[in-house]
């Protein structure tokens, strides 16, 4: 009889009912975690305030600052148990030094976790910090995603394309494009023989990570999109739509170095797409040629030099070192400064 009652009771549980209960519990746990996270971050800020303003007399690094940290950690561990390490107290101090406004602290603690903030507060400029705070918040980045994007210098790869004294539409298009794109998550090694089709397949298999690398506002439309003219058929490798810029973005994958034929092909694709696929309320189509390398002379003396719809960007399938990526960005910056005859936005 007992088993019959249990079976009867279970039979009355609809899938929607079970899902609703799960959602309620998940939401409660999430809210509970956010509440605890917010309270603890505020506490860490107050600890940093106490160390800097009251013990170090407002000095960022008092002569006896390190001794304060050591003694405080020792006393706290006696009273409330292990876990309040010297490193943690130094983080609290740095947190207050980086964000001395209580108002900003309370805003941050409701939006990001302590693990996010520990990464962001080590950045060397307010502009960078604000960029990653906003992107992590609006993009709902995990700590791992934030760490990767800082390591691959996403901020610098976007900012280097922002040329002053240009129209808003031009700036928006150029700010959309990075150079280089870091695609280490594809799992393709340079020493292996990979075709353009292999790279395309790897992108589709890692589409979520690829969209994160592309940036804000991208949605996937189609691979190998068939575009038919009066006389011929064409297939575009990857087609996306950016809902912020309200335009289609075409990507053509090239395994090797950029060639002038590649530029001509993309120019044709963009014109063809604007004529045959773009809706009246869409902005002009953007085309990006992904190439393993490019000769800047080809860029300088081709339609790429003047076009605001066609771009060529390198891609790297292994994570470069900080020095290698810095050198790459410096090279791009020098080229763009020579091209436009003015300093890029710092």
Every domain of the chain and the residues it spans: 2-110, 161-340
Check residue 281 and give its pLDDT. Answer: 93
Check residue 297 and give its pLDDT. Answer: 82
Residue 289: C-alpha distances to residues 20, 74, 236 (Å): 46, 58, 11
- Scanning the chain, the segments in alpha helix (DSSP H) are 2-11, 15-49, 65-80, 86-98, 102-109, 114-120, 126-138, 143-151, 154-159, 168-176, 196-205, 207-214, 260-276, 296-300, 322-340
Q: Which of 302, 277, 286 is nearest to 245 (CA)?
A: 286
Q: Which residues of 242-256 are buried (b: 16+ CB within 10 A; e: fewer)?
A: beebebbbbbbbbee
CA distance 127 to 135: 12
Q: Which residue ranges in the chain fall short of pLDDT 50?
A: 1-2, 4-6, 8-9, 11, 165-171, 346
Check residue 134 and give its pLDDT. Answer: 92
Sheet holding 310-316, edge to edge: 181-182, 310-316, 286-293, 247-257, 233-242, 218-228
Q: Which of 184, 174, 191 is nearest to 151 (CA)?
A: 184
What topology is assigned to 161-340 in CATH?
Answer: Trna Endonuclease; Chain: A, domain 1 (3.40.1350)
Check residue 268 and give its pLDDT. Answer: 94
Check residue 334 and give its pLDDT. Answer: 76
């Amino acid at each position: 009889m007992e088993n019959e009652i249990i079976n009867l009771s279970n039979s009355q549980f609809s899938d929607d009912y079970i899902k609703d209960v799960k959602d309620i519990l998940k939401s409660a746990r999430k809210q509970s975690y956010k509440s605890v996270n917010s309270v603890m971050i505020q506490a860490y800020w107050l600890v940093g305030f106490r160390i800097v303003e009251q013990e170090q007399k407002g000095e960022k690094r008092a002569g006896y600052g390190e001794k304060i940290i050591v003694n405080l950690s020792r006393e706290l561990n006696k009273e409330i148990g292990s876990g309040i390490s010297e490193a943690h107290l130094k983080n609290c101090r740095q947190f207050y030094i980086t964000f001395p406004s209580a108002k900003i602290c309370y805003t941050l603690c409701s939006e990001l976790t302590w693990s996010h903030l520990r990464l962001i507060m080590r950045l060397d400029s307010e502009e960078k910090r604000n960029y990653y705070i906003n992107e992590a918040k609006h993009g709902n980045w995990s700590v791992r995603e934030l760490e990767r994007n800082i390591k691959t210098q996403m901020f610098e790869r976007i900012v280097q394309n922002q040329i002053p004294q240009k129209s808003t539409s031009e700036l928006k298009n150029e700010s959309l494009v990075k150079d280089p794109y870091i695609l280490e998550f594809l799992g393709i090694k340079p020493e292996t023989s990979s075709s353009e089709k292999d790279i395309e397949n790897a992108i589709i298999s890692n589409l979520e990570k690829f969209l994160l690398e592309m940036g804000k506002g991208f949605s996937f439309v189609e691979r190998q999109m068939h575009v038919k003219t009066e006389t011929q058929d064409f297939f575009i490798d990857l087609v996306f739509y950016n809902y912020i810029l309200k335009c289609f973005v075409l990507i053509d994958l090239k395994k090797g170095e950029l060639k002038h034929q590649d530029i001509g092909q993309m120019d044709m694709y963009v014109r063809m797409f604007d004529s045959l696929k773009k809706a009246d309320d869409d902005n002009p189509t953007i085309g990006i040629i992904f190439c393993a390398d490019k000769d800047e002379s080809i860029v300088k003396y081709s339609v790429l030099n003047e076009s605001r719809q066609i771009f060529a960007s390198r891609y790297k399938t292994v994570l470069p070192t900080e020095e290698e990526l810095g050198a790459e960005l410096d090279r791009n910056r020098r080229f763009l400064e020579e091209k436009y005859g003015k300093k890029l936005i710092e």
